[in-house]
Amino acid sequence: DTEVTQTPKHLVMGMTNKKSLKCEQHMGHRAMYWYKQKAKKPPELMFVYSYEKLSINESVPSRFSPECPNSSLLNLHLHALQPEDSALYLCASRPTLGTREYEQYFGPGTRLTVT
């Protein structure tokens, strides 16, 4: 089983709203990622959590706030977004031990539209 789930599938929000994206995996992976993907482009790394601690922040604006409440869950809190933040937000996870240590598995994404 290599399933990463993300909710919601679609989200439309105004520039003054606060919303959250949720990601979940039950594969025991201790590294979890948030990526942003614009149309016809590759995923761009935003944040990396390793063992529930933030290990990489790719200079993402503070209107995006990640949270890792436990080893299975990853949230992305959104506040005061801009229209250019509209994109597909992807969560990914990977094992940190074993022969499949490097394999990163993506969820289906949340399609975010900021109006």
Partner 1 sequence: GENVEQHPSTLSVQEGDSAVIKCTYSDSASNYFPWYKQELGKGPQLIIDIRSNVGEKKDQRIAVTLNKTAKHFSLHITETQPEDSAVYFCAARVGAGGTSYGKLTFGQGTILTVHP
* Chain contacts with partner 1 (rule: CB under 8 A): 2, 4, 6, 40-43, 45, 48, 56, 90, 102-109
CB of 74 to partner 1, least distance (A): 14
Q: How far apart are the first and last CA of the chain?
A: 37
Q: Which among 105, 115, 113, 107 has a CA at the least distance from the CA of 75?
A: 107
CB of 80 to partner 1, least distance (A): 26
Measure the CA–CA gap between 68 and 91, rounded to whole angstroms.
Answer: 12
60: CB partners within 8 A, 6+ apart: 46, 47
CB of 27 to partner 1, least distance (A): 13
Amino acid in position 10: H
Nearer to partner 1, 10 or 69 (CB): 10
* Tokens standing for residue 109: 């994404």
Nearer to partner 1, 42 or 83 (CB): 42
CB of 24 to partner 1, least distance (A): 14
